């Protein structure tokens, strides 16, 4: 006896759905095993150098002794002993202010130049000139801060710097750029912006490459000029990247750049240049007080986590959150 046509069709549809159902679990992993193999080095890196070291956080709550090891060292009494030592330090307010201001200056004055530079390069129609300028501008990213400080010393030294030589030749008085509290923060911010200008522009250029070119063609048909297309197409097209980088940088708001400041600062500019990391290096690591160093690091990480969560929550209201 033949089945009704409707029942037969339903059975065929169910069978096709079963065969078309995508693999799950280990079958799915095996199907894309090549992709997962390529992912393994990155996962291993983060496991070994990001997650496993988090075990050392407990040092902040112990009187750590290198001979006894982490587990053999006694717990601090009270538990917040090293945090209290840091918060009650006479330099705490100055350190926190310097760290926050330097990071804020770098964030504010360092965010816009790469975007503008990327837009200028994107609008350049001469390919060889665009490639030349882009290469020259991202080369400083690969220079160490020792070399950059040597360049600044040759230019701005009070006794032998080229700039001060021009000033004295013009009848002026030499300016102590590198040892003056009035200029030091500006030098920090300016040198970092110069170093990362071309490198930061690469990220925005990559985002601009993903914008649909038909949008620009439609804008040209409507009579829009270059500035109009930049404002209404290019900037909205890279908005999500701008927000993402801003959120990530807010998470490092208390990382003012230890290597740069440690190489460039001196005792004359301590009031405006001494930050959390340099203080920890002097009082924590040089004096082998690892518990204090871990406590300050945990404090910075907690502040960064809170700022990332808040900024992402705000960004999600415009649909540009990271998660």
Handedness of CA 132, 137, 142, 144 (dihedral sign): positive
More confident residue, 106 or 1: 106
- Tell me what pLDDT residue 1 has: 46
What confidence tier does 10 reach under pLDDT thresholds 50, 70, 90?
low
pTM: 0.80
For residue 160, is it within any domain? yes
Mean pLDDT, range 283-293, rounded to an integer: 83
Which segment of 157-161, 284-288, 299-303 scores lowest on mean pLDDT? 284-288
Phi, psi of 68 (to 5 degrees): -85, -20
Both 35 and 90 in one domain: the answer is: no
Both 90 and 216 in one domain: the answer is: yes
Per-position DSSP letters for 94-121, written without gaps between them: HHHHHHHHHHHHHHHHHHHHHHHHHHHH
Kindly report the average pLDDT of the chain as a whole number: 85
Both 143 and 180 in one domain: the answer is: yes
**Residue 51 corresponds to which tokens in the numbers above?**
């997650």
For residue 270, is it within any domain? yes
Evaluate if residue 40 carries a pLDDT over 70: yes
Mean pLDDT, range 82-105, rounded to an integer: 89
Supply the range of the domain harboring residue 41: 5-46
Domains held by the chain: number: 2
Both 40 and 103 in one domain: the answer is: no
The CATH number of residue 78's host domain is 1.10.3720.10
Residues 267 and 278: their CA atoms lie apart, in Å, by 12
Mean pLDDT, range 141-151, rounded to an integer: 91
Both 117 and 249 in one domain: the answer is: yes
Percent of the chain having pLDDT more than 70?
A: 91
Rounded (10°) CA dihedral 163, 198, 253, 283: -60
Evaluate if residue 266 carries a pLDDT over 60: yes
Evaluate if residue 162 carries a pLDDT over 70: yes
For residue 96, is it within any domain? yes
What confidence tier does 66 reach under pLDDT thresholds 50, 70, 90?
confident
- Tell me what pLDDT residue 13 has: 54
For residue 57, is it within any domain? no
Both 147 and 258 in one domain: the answer is: yes
For residue 85, is it within any domain? yes
pLDDT in tens, 189-205: 999 999 999 888 888 98
What confidence tier does 91 reach under pLDDT thresholds 50, 70, 90?
confident
- Tell me what pLDDT residue 149 has: 92
More confident residue, 320 or 12: 320
- Contact call for residues 136 and 198 (beta carbons, < 8 A): yes
For residue 63, is it within any domain? no
């Amino acid at each position: 006896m033949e089945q009704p046509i409707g029942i037969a069709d339903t059975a065929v549809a169910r069978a096709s759905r079963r065969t078309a159902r995508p693999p799950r679990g280990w079958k799915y992993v095996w199907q894309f095993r090549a992709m997962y193999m390529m992912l393994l080095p990155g996962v291993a890196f983060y496991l070994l150098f990001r997650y496993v070291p988090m075990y050392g956080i407990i040092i902040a709550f112990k009187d750590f002794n290198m001979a006894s090891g982490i587990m053999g060292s006694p717990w601090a009494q009270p538990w917040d002993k090293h945090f209290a030592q840091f918060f009650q330090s006479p330099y705490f307010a100055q350190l926190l202010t310097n760290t926050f201001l330097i990071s804020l200056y770098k964030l504010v004055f360092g965010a816009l130049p790469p975007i503008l530079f990327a837009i200028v390069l994107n609008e350049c129609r001469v390919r060889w000139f665009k490639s030349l300028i882009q290469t020259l501008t991202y080369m400083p990213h690969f220079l160490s801060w020792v070399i950059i400080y040597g360049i600044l010393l040759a230019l701005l030294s009070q006794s032998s710097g080229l700039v001060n030589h021009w000033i004295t030749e013009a009848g002026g008085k030499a300016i102590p750029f590198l040892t003056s509290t009035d200029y030091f923060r500006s030098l920090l911010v300016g040198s970092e912006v110069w170093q990362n200008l071309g490198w930061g522009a690469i990220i925005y250029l990559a985002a601009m490459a993903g914008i649909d070119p038909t949008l620009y063609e439609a804008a040209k048909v409507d009579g829009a000029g270059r500035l109009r297309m930049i404002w209404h197409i290019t900037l909205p097209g890279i908005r999500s990247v701008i927000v993402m980088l801003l959120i990530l940088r807010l998470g490092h708001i208390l990382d003012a750049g230890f290597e740069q400041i440690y190489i460039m600062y001196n005792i004359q500019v301590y009031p405006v240049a001494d930050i959390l990391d340099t203080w920890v290096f002097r009082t924590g690591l040089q004096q082998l007080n690892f518990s204090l160093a871990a406590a300050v690091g945990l404090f910075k990480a907690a502040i960064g986590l809170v700022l990332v969560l808040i900024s992402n929550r705000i960004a999600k209201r415009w649909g540009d959150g990271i998660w």
